[in-house]
Amino acid sequence: MPSSDEDLDPAAIRLALEDHRRLTRDRVAVLAKRPERGAAQGFGKRIGDGTTEAVGRLTEIGVGRSLESTLARTERALAKLDEGSYGTCDACGEPIERARLEARPDSVLCLRCAAAERRPAAPPRR
């Protein structure tokens, strides 16, 4: 039986997505559990040290946010598998490029819409 060029294997995709979701959840949990030593020691420190720590926290928050958005996207892709809309762009309804789905099974937007979403929410005046 020739392997079809048209259908991705939903069972394999689901497994990959569930695996990805589990790993991402683990990473979120590790970040959330990290003891906040900076907060406890901060009072006795000089401003310079505190600033470094604040930047560290911001980076961590940024990582946490990106993990959360990865998790949300993975959940969405799984929901789309259930709905039967997997492989269709959530924004424009066009099919998502197959190569894109193969590279990133958690894709819920086509290339064009994903690129549009990555732009800053409030672009500066031109």
What residues make contact with Zn ion under the rule CB under 5 A? Answer: 89, 91-92, 110, 113
CB 113 within 8 A of CB 93: no
| Residue (17 or 89) nearer to Zn ion, CB | 89
- Smallest distance from Zn ion to CB 89, Å: 3
Residue closer to Zn ion (CB basis): 67 or 96:
96
Residue closer to Zn ion by CB (options 74, 107) is 107
Return the number of the residue (17 or 113) whose C-beta is nearest Zn ion. 113
In sequence order, what are the residues at sequence separation of 6 or more whose Cβ sits closer than 8 angstroms to the Cβ of residue 87? Answer: 8, 80, 95, 96, 98, 101
* Rounded (5°) CA angle 69-116-56: 40
CB of 92 to Zn ion, least distance (A): 3
Both tokens of 87, joined, read 């492989």
CB of 122 to Zn ion, least distance (A): 21
Q: At what angle do helices 10-33 and 47-83 cross, to 10 degrees?
A: 160
Q: Least distance in Å: CB of 115 to Zn ion? A: 10
